């Protein structure tokens, strides 16, 4: 975790930043749809993967899910983050060279803006609520049972 | 319609007496200690059971459940949140989605017919809400304790 969360101008506004979405951060929407929770964009230092670094290493976007196969993947551009007062920078980790951050205070309006601007990467379109429920049932986090299921950490 | 706590007495039973968190585990949290509802099940608001089940599932989430360092749900905070929810919601309020926060807090949220409400109970912070509508500029946020009437009005919009 860097001490100095500078905004890196070498990361262009069109750079896509990938954020894993745990199933519990997908809520029920209207009319059978799912709704990405703003809680997924709440961290002051929001960890992301930089698409350009992944691409240079020959890794597709879903490589970000390799250790979290039950998660979804969302993408947001660096420009949207900056337009909402965030700083975007690299923070390579030994096991994740593409790791970066979206740093800044995220009051509810900002979380909503980031959530609304996010696009679905995996799956390519917003899953239906039924699809989400099916996955949650596999993990025992659907709220329909009192136990069982796989490891709810999704790992 | 008045909030549910004003019409039924059983909400006080949510207070978990002499519960030793030091000896508890997440399994214990699922016991009736958490929601010790003495009233007949038919008098409970329909939203309560799905919320209880959702919480029961989410308290099993371990440390770092999201791979980004998230904390497990804070059991005491969840109890307090549920008590507050019982004071706010009406009998026929739709059940919310229950969403854990990375700091151990919890958020209840509704997305219904273009109306959205989030009630957030962060770890170490004051509960707050955020209401907004998809097809208008209408939005409002505030602290739960300071804006009870406003929040109840938004909750009533969700039906």
pLDDT tens-digit map of B18-59: 222 233 333 333 444 444 444 455 678 999 999 999 999 999
Between CA A103 and CA A137 the distance in angstroms is 33
Burial of A78 (0-12, 13-18, 19+ CB in 10 A): buried
Number of neighbouring beta carbons within 10 Å of residue B35 = 22
Q: What is the model's pTM?
A: 0.85
Q: How far is A71 from chain B (nearest CA, A)?
A: 9
Domain boundaries, chain A: 16-146
* pLDDT surpassing 60 at residue B6: no
Euclidean distance between the first and the last CA atom of chain B, given in angstroms as a whole number: 12
Between CA B54 and CA B98 the distance in angstroms is 6
* pLDDT surpassing 70 at residue B10: no
Q: Do A145 and B53 touch (CB under 8 A)?
A: yes
Size of interface A-B (CB pairs under 8 A): 96
Q: Do B98 and A143 touch (CB under 8 A)?
A: yes
Residue of B50, B99, B112 with shortest CB distance to A37: B99
Q: Do B112 and A38 touch (CB under 8 A)?
A: no
pLDDT value at residue A151: 52
Q: Establish if A66 touches chain B: CB-CB under 8 angstroms.
A: no
Peptide bond into B92 cis (omega under 30): no
- CA distances in angstroms from B146 to A153, A154, B83, B138, B141, listed in the order given: 35, 38, 16, 20, 11
Nearest chain A residue (CA) to B100? A24
Give the dihedral sign, CA B133/B135/B138/B139. positive
Q: Structure tokens of A92?
A: 């390579």
Contact A27/B109 with Cβ under 8 angstroms?
Answer: yes
pLDDT tens column, A10-53: 999 999 999 999 999 999 999 999 999 999 999 999 999 999 99
pLDDT value at residue B61: 95
Q: How far is B47 from chain A (nearest CA, A)?
A: 12
Q: Do A39 and B99 touch (CB under 8 A)?
A: yes
pLDDT tens column, B127-143: 999 999 998 999 999 99
Q: Do B30 and A25 touch (CB under 8 A)?
A: no
Q: How confident is the model over A94-117, as a mean pLDDT?
A: 97
Q: Do B53 and A38 touch (CB under 8 A)?
A: no
Tell me the ipTM for this assembly: 0.90
């Amino acid at each position: 975790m860097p001490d100095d969360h500078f905004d890196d101008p070498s990361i262009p506004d069109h750079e896509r930043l990938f954020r894993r979405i745990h199933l519990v951060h997908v809520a029920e929407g209207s009319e059978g749809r799912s709704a990405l929770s703003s809680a997924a964009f709440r961290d002051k230092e929001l960890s992301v993967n930089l698409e350009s670094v992944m691409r240079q290493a020959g890794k597709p976007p879903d490589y970000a899910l390799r250790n979290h196969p039950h998660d979804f993947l969302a993408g947001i551009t660096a420009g949207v983050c900056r337009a909402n007062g965030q700083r975007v920078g690299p923070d390579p980790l030994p096991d994740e060279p593409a790791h970066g951050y979206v740093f800044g205070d995220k009051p509810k309006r900002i979380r909503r803006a980031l959530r609304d601007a996010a696009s679905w990467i995996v799956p390519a379109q917003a899953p239906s609520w039924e699809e989400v429920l099916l996955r949650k049932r596999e993990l025992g986090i659907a709220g329909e049972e009192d136990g069982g299921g796989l490891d709810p950490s999704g790992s | 319609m008045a909030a549910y706590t004003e019409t039924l007495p059983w909400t006080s039973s949510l207070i978990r007496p002499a519960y030793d968190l030091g000896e508890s585990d997440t399994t214990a949290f699922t016991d009736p200690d958490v929601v010790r509802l003495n009233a007949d099940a038919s008098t409970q608001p329909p939203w309560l059971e799905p919320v209880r089940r959702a919480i029961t599932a989410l308290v099993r989430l371990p440390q770092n459940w999201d791979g980004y360092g998230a904390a497990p749900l804070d059991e005491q905070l969840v109890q307090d949140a549920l008590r507050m929810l019982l004071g706010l919601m009406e009998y026929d309020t739709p059940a919310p989605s229950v969403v854990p926060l990375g700091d151990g807090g919890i958020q209840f949220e509704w997305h219904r017919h273009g109306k959205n409400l989030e009630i957030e109970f962060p770890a170490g912070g004051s509960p707050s809400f955020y209401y907004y509508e998809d097809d208008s500029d209408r939005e409002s946020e505030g602290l739960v304790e300071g804006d009870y009437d406003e929040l109840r009005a938004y909750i009533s919009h969700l039906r």
